[in-house]
Amino acid sequence: MKPLEDVRVIAVEQYGAGPFGTLHLADLGAEIIKIEDPRFGGDVGRYVPPFQEGEDSLFFETFNRNKKSLSLDISTVAGREVFEDLVKVSDAVYSNLRGDVPTKLGLTYDDLKHLNPQIVCVSVSGFGMVGPRAEEPGYDYILQGLAGWMSLTGDPSGPPTKTGLSLVDFSGGYVGAASLLAGVHAARRDGRGMDCDVSLYDTAVSLLTYLGTWHMSAGYEPARTERSAHPSLVPFQLFKGSDDEWFVVGCAKEKFFHRVTEVIDRPDLATDEHYATFQQRLENKPELIRTLDLAFETHTADHWIKRLGEAGVPTGPIQDVAAALSDPHTVARNLIVETEHPRFGTVRSLASPIRVGTPDGSSHRRAPMRNEHADDILSALLAYDDSRIQRLADGGAFGATT
């Protein structure tokens, strides 16, 4: 068995942050029942361009493999009936909606505990369920600005810059998944579920980590740095070879700086009173970086990457996405997952980095078509007969009937 095969989650989710969190649970074996609102064509992620046709998109495939789909309008009495029956046989209700919406839709523990005292209700929202911004929509780009990330990213002479990836969304998905697992563990131990109020804002602010500590405890003012330099460790930044190709050198330990000086034939720098310690190198950073620049400009980036790597110095090239995905280490770590799709053919996407035990080599299922698992969920799981399904359909549970 996979680690989470005994966990069932009702996912009222859409777009990126929420589905990204349950993706990892699904890869670990959890049964993720994705509730898709038929009034809006299901998850909006199905319609994200550029690689999109009808209700299929490669964006949706990225975040929804190994899940099941049920079209269900929980705003109707009939749809709510189905939803509540699912709550009775599930471990968690997981949503990523605006912070005030779970209460409006009746997705909180107080709303559902009479159906299942152990149900865990996870809300992943932009700003959380309480606080002055709870009713505001929260998107990754906005949150990167609010949480200070954009003030730290990019060149000092350029504009504030967001990261190239939606890291607030993805980090929030991980936090949502971790909260769900902690909640389910506690519920099984104590016999009582709870709410898990996960906020992308909280996630983004918490990821300021040591910069936040330095600012609040010592008055440090974080700022953008040239060439993506570390704020305190020197040298730890981009350098350029004679071929104008960039590479990273990271001296997070004293021994690494000593090795750099040996590789560039300047062992005297390691004992120079201006550069002998972390603090001295920070205080005299401009002069040291100019010295290292002159040394690295004498050979190509590949030359230095090879020499520094052989010396045990953390270093690496600046690869584009294509190079990263074809890197031999990517292949060796089995980070590419293949699924078969009726419209897109073989879809290659990225595996979850969460590893538990020995990989079993099992295959993955493509993301579901909308409502693909209605029979499996309604007939097999909930044991509804045909007449009850028809009654619920007539009541609008599964969308408008024609």
Question: Would you give per-residue pLDDT tens digits along the chain (402 residues)?
Answer: 899 999 999 999 999 999 999 999 999 999 999 999 999 999 999 999 999 999 999 999 999 999 999 999 999 999 999 999 999 999 999 999 999 999 999 999 999 999 999 999 999 999 999 999 999 999 999 999 999 999 999 999 999 999 999 999 999 999 999 999 999 999 999 999 999 999 999 999 999 999 999 999 999 999 999 999 999 999 999 999 999 999 999 999 999 999 999 999 999 999 999 999 999 999 999 999 999 999 999 999 999 999 999 999 999 999 999 999 999 999 999 999 999 999 999 999 999 999 998 877 778 999 999 999 999 999 999 999 999 999 999 999 999 875
Residues 6+ apart with CB under 8 A from 9: 22, 25, 30, 31, 32, 33, 90, 91, 92, 93, 94, 180
Q: Are residues 171 and 312 in the same domain?
A: no
Query: Residue 358: its pLDDT value, please?
Result: 83
Q: Are residues 306 and 386 in the same domain?
A: no
Return d(Cα 107, Cα 340) in angstroms, integer: 34
Q: Are residues 200 and 263 in the same domain?
A: no
Residue 400 included in any domain: no
Q: Are residues 202 and 286 in the same domain?
A: no
Residue 328 included in any domain: no
Picking from 317, 342, 367, the residue at the C-terminal end of a domain is 317
Q: Are residues 141 and 194 in the same domain?
A: yes
Residue 304 included in any domain: yes
Q: Are residues 162 and 257 in the same domain?
A: no
Characterize 80-89 residue by residue with b for buried, 16 or more Cβ atoms within 10 angstroms of its Cβ, and e for exposed.
bbbbbbbbee
Q: Are residues 173 and 33 in the same domain?
A: yes
Query: Residue 1: its pLDDT value, please?
Result: 86
> Could you give phi then psi for residue 285, rounded to 5 degrees?
-60, -50
Query: Residue 402: its pLDDT value, please?
Result: 56
Q: Are residues 52 and 137 in the same domain?
A: yes
Q: Are residues 128 and 66 in the same domain?
A: yes
Q: Are residues 155 and 241 in the same domain?
A: no
Cβ burial of 31 (10 Å; 0-12, 13-18, 19+) is buried
Residue 333 included in any domain: no
Residue 341 included in any domain: no
Q: Are residues 61 and 171 in the same domain?
A: yes
Q: 389, 396, 356: which is closest to 375 by C-alpha?
A: 389
Residue 147 included in any domain: yes
Query: Residue 360: its pLDDT value, please?
Result: 73
Return d(Cα 163, Cα 24) in angstroms, integer: 22
CATH number (domain holding residue 251): 3.30.1540.10
The whole domain housing 86 covers 8-206+356-394
Residue 336 included in any domain: no
CATH number (domain holding residue 385): 3.40.50.10540
Residue 388 included in any domain: yes
Picking from 287, 317, 347, the residue at the C-terminal end of a domain is 317
Picking from 317, 347, 371, the residue at the C-terminal end of a domain is 317
pTM for the structure as a whole: 0.94
Q: Are residues 195 and 234 in the same domain?
A: no
Q: Domain total for the chain? A: 2
